[in-house]
Amino acid sequence: MTNPFVKCAIAAFLLCVGASASASPAQNSPLGVWLFQNNRFAVEINPCGDRLCGKVSWLKAPTDAQGQIRVDKENPDPTLRARPVLGLTILSGFRRAPDGTWEDGEIYNPDDGSHYNASMTVSGTGALKVRAYVGVSLFGKTLSLTRMS
C-alpha cells in the first residue's frame, strides 16, 4: 500500500509541473502590454494577421506643454503629422522565427519620425528585448521592455 503522504507529494509535484508548463508559453510570448525602458510610454502587442504589431497604449505625458494632445509631428509624411501618438502603431510586421524569436519587423520612432528594422525576443528574465537597427542587426540598439500585463 502506498503512503498517503507520498501520493500527496506526487500530486503536488505534478500540479506544479503542469502549472509551470502551461505558464511558460504565455511568459515567452510578446503578446501583451509592455513599458519602454524610459517609462515614457507603453505598447500593446497583438496579432495582426499572421504577424505581430504594437500600438502605443499609454503615455506618461499624453499632452504637450500647451495642453494639446501629442501628435506624430515629426513624421516625414506631412499628411500624417496630425495623428495622435496614443494608439499609433509603432511595431509592425514581426513574424515568428523557428528559434522562437520574432524577426522581419519594423519599429517607428515618433520622436524623430524614423523607421528601423527590428527583431524581438522574450528573455529568460521575462523582459522583451527589441533590437532596432538599420541594415545589419550588429549595428543597432537593444531596448528592454517590462511586461505590464
Q: Report CA dihedral (24, 41, 56, 51) to the nearest 10 degrees.
A: -30
Q: pLDDT tens track of the chain, all 149 residues?
A: 444 433 333 333 333 333 333 344 466 899 999 999 889 999 999 999 999 999 999 999 999 999 999 999 999 999 999 999 999 999 999 999 999 999 999 999 999 999 999 999 999 999 999 999 998 788 899 999 999 98
Fold of 31-147: Lipocalin (2.40.128)
**Alpha helix stretches (DSSP H) within 28-130:** none
pLDDT (0 to 100) of residue 16 = 33
Q: What share of the chain is helix, strand, coil (3-state, %, to 5)?
A: 20, 45, 40
DSSP bridge pairs for 118:
105, 132
pLDDT (0 to 100) of residue 97 = 95
